[in-house]
Structure 1
């Protein structure tokens, strides 16, 4: 079994005792993964980092399942897998608590200017007389995506006294405190927009110059989903114009973020390096979930 990472949680490895486990390292390239597939012909791949495409699948004729260490499967060529009879499974919900908490942390950091005030304080300033932050009670949060993560964020926002709007045509069992709306209402009515949907060909660049212009002036944007959902130059322009008051971002169009990225140095953009789902607890939950999902396919 191939793990496209440098490690796997011990409880997950214990489930795989009957298999030889090969690690690809902490940052495997697609070519690295192809080479390892050719060398070891795995029956299963657990995907932590890197992309698994058709070339890797063709290099592993025994491959039966590709299991994501987490919920997002956009780094796996699902069409190629389907064409080859390879199942793609994900540990959906395993990191939901971690990501939802991080989304709320980014929202609070933006609304309360946490990073900016911290930097100012360390530089010896005392901005009590001039600073005013945003109070979230009574404000409206618009959630795009109402899966396991979006639902947790909705519950947190409701507990804080926020009005909760959500767009998700596939959501079931929506709580009564969540108002389902179309996307145009999300843009028009939200004081905060938080993204919790997968990245697809249809929604790439969902937050664009046009949709950002349709938002309420001073909106806050939070993204703990996928970077490709946002047109980054359009967001930067909206930040600089004041149309967007702040952004809390954990994922980006290109990762890792390159030095001298346009977002660097923007005081109203709070950044984290795609670690929303990275906690000690989620590491175990995702590993065990990915291992169990792979074994479920292999054992029929």
Structure 2
């Protein structure tokens, strides 16, 4: 029996075929692909074949638990398809000497595009205006919506995605500020040493920081109050970063003008507290998904895996 690559996330037929072909022809250690993209298949695959799994492909949301790692004694390589890896038991994997990689950089442009689309949709009220137009309601009966150009944009997390959001903002004549754990050298943007201070300065706040325990509810009621009743919040990072209950209260009470979210606490269920609100735009965690981005992520995974099994340097180690 050949060892296995266990795939825990949904892949398109084309992507799955590319992965399968790569491990048949390119890898120095041929692996059979074990496709388990839902919880039932995942449990069954680990129960039946865990002893023979040498590689796992997952993502930050789906993750990989310490218990699952323990049930795969031959496991030596774990990859997150995208940039996020917050639900992978990293310390446990490292203690086992397991190689860890992610898809950093493969979908940055896609996420940055989506972040700006969400910002425009929220500020210009595109969803509600579309519904009004379809209902035959003309502009004179509708409230004015703010301009986006010439405002101030705060970015929480000036990593690859945050920097690309900033460059898109420059095209709109928007002034950019940011908060990061440390100032980024060589950046032309204003640095703020706290998220509330950045929110106080900003008209719009885009959240692009990693998820995990360190950033849980970083965007809380105090940050939303600092952003203020004319402010707009966009989250394309992880749902855990924003306090959903505080956001619902701020939107209902008018202490925040609007929000747009691609990620949620409790995914894949959308947040019930927000569904009735007209001043929030919701998309189902698709910010990093496009044909181009998925193809790039799969290519990056294959290249990392081939390099690992050949004993070569990795492209995007965690």
TM range, smaller chain: over 0.9
Cα distance in 2 for residues equivalent to 1:257 and 1:103: 20
* SS state at 2:273 partner: coil
* Contact kept in structure 2, 1:190 and 1:216, CA below 8 Å: no
* Contact kept in structure 2, 1:46 and 1:291, CA below 8 Å: no
Matched residue, 2:286: 275
Aligned residues: 295
Matched residue, 1:244: 256
Matched residue, 1:3: 7
Moved more, 117-126 or 38-47: 38-47
Instruction: Report the Cα offset of residue 39 of structure 1.
Output: 2.4
Match of 1:42 among 35, 53, 58: 53
Is residue 262 of structure 1 aligned with residue 273 of structure 2? yes
- The one-character-per-residue Cα deviations of 1:189-213 (angstroms, maximum 9, x if unpaired) are 0100001111121220011112222
Instruction: Report the Cα offset of residue 72 of structure 1.
Output: 0.3
Relative to structure 1, the CA distance from residue 11 to residue 173 in structure 2 (aligned partners, 3 Å threshold; closer, same or farther) is: farther
Cα distance in 2 for residues equivalent to 1:153 and 1:140: 13
Cα distance in 2 for residues equivalent to 1:263 and 1:222: 14
* SS state at 1:202 partner: helix
Matches within 5 A, 1:171-210: 172-176=184-188, 178-183=189-194, 184-210=196-222
Is residue 88 of structure 1 aligned with residue 100 of structure 2? yes
Matched residue, 1:155: 167
Matched residue, 2:27: none
Matched residue, 2:302: 291
Is residue 135 of structure 1 aligned with residue 147 of structure 2? yes
Matched residue, 2:128: 116
* Contact kept in structure 1, 2:225 and 2:256, CA below 8 Å: no
Structure with greater helix percent:
2
Moved more, 72-81 or 154-163: 72-81
Cα distance in 2 for residues equivalent to 1:66 and 1:202: 22
TM-score when scaled to structure 2? 0.87
Cα distance in 2 for residues equivalent to 1:73 and 1:198: 9
Cα distance in 2 for residues equivalent to 1:89 and 1:111: 37
Matched residue, 1:228: 240
Unaligned 5+ segments in structure 2 are: 25-29, 312-318
- The one-character-per-residue Cα deviations of 1:85-104 (angstroms, maximum 9, x if unpaired) are 21221010101011000000
Runs in 1 of length 4+ with deviation above 6 angstroms?
none
* Contact kept in structure 2, 1:38 and 1:60, CA below 8 Å: no
Unaligned 5+ segments in structure 1 are: none
If asked which structure has higher relative contact order (CA below 8 Å, sep 6+), I would say 1
Matched residue, 2:316: none
Instruction: Report the Cα offset of residue 83 of structure 1.
Output: 2.0
Cα distance in 2 for residues equivalent to 1:298 and 1:117: 53
* Contact kept in structure 1, 2:259 and 2:281, CA below 8 Å: yes
Cα distance in 2 for residues equivalent to 1:159 and 1:101: 13
Instruction: Report the Cα offset of residue 64 of structure 1.
Output: 0.5
Instruction: Report the Cα offset of residue 173 of structure 1.
Output: 4.7
Cα distance in 2 for residues equivalent to 1:125 and 1:79: 56
* Contact kept in structure 1, 2:152 and 2:175, CA below 8 Å: yes
